[in-house]
Amino acid sequence: MSNAPALNQKLGATLAIISVAFWGLLPVSSKGLLDTVDAYTLNFYRFVVATILLGVYLGLKGTPPILMKLQPKHYGLMVSAVLGLLVNHVMFMDALQYIPAGSSQIIVQLGPITLLIVSVLLFREAFSLRQWGGTLLFVFGLCLFFNDRLVEIFSFASDYAFGIFYMIAASLIWIFYGLAQKLLVGTVSPVFILLCCYSLGAIVLFPVADIDVILQLNQVQLWLLAACTLTSLIAYICFGESLVHWPASKSSALLAFIPIATLVYENTFTILLPRYISADTLNALSIVGALLVVVGCLVVTRQEKSKVKG
């Protein structure tokens, strides 16, 4: 019995690492398909598969109907959460057509950090000097990562620049989901919100999706599609389960390493599947910038020891 807590901690840590690995893979597998499958069709397939599998998952867990228990004040938050996550998913995949997968995940880290800052302004949550320092480190890391393309980005003169700002917008839209979820804690589980998002998304995208395109995909592309449809779903489930066995502060801290995982995947698949995936050439400053983004995220999201007491 004495080994049970240790085993649970290892299980929680393993599940959190798996979630990072799968989230890091999503933009790379998606990027390999976007020359053949448009962003809306790709999201449609993601949402359909996720709706089916999440429905089965919740059914096996015996999750009771939740909507009947909601009070009127909760419905507006539910709409905000679902639409925020849905629009974020669609914009993310659309923006990915213009920029490399690694760059996308560096930018996406804006979402959680901005959510913390907005929470300070709206809910007067604590935000220490250390966290402000982490925020500055994060911004500095961003500038270093894009050091050789800053002029191009701020001149708004290329598809790459458009993709960068489009991805920034997608990351900030995610805040609507994050804020609503904070206010729904204990009332609606994130998994149920995901189910609402994916089922609604499948319905909304059905009229504009080119469903028959799947018949034109070769074997490699079908594998990429399978990876694209399963990665974020598996990541969400593994992350949610990791919180049962491991402290939330540690699980959340690991999410800062998603950009590194994506950059590793991107450069690996550039070698293995050069026909489908290509990576940006990163100079030394860009690599240092990516590491600083991760460190900045860790500093900002890591809770003070004095505040982690039960």
Mean pLDDT in runs of 10 for the chain (310 residues)? 62 88 92 91 92 85 63 83 88 92 91 85 81 91 92 88 94 89 77 85 92 92 92 85 75 83 92 88 92 91 50
pLDDT value, residue 268: 92
pLDDT value, residue 260: 92
pLDDT value, residue 310: 33
Query: What is the DSSP track for the chain?
Result: -TTHHHHHHHHHHHHHHHHHHHHHHHHHHHHTTTTTS-HHHHHHHHHHHHHHHHHHHHHHTTPPP-GGG--HHHHHHHHHHHHHHHHHHHHHHHHTTTS-HHHHHHHHTHHHHHHHHHHHHHH-----HHHHHHHHHHHHHHHHHTGGGHHHHHTT-SHHHHHHHHHHHHHHHHHHHHHHHHHHTTTS-HHHHHHHHHHHHHHHHGGG--GGGGGG--HHHHHHHHHHHHHHHHHHHHHHHHHHHS-HHHHHHHGGGHHHHHHHHHHHHHHH-TTT---PPP-HHHHHHHHHHHHHHHHHHSPPGGG---
Name the residue ranges covered by the structural domains of the chain.
Answer: 4-307
pLDDT value, residue 165: 94
pLDDT value, residue 43: 92
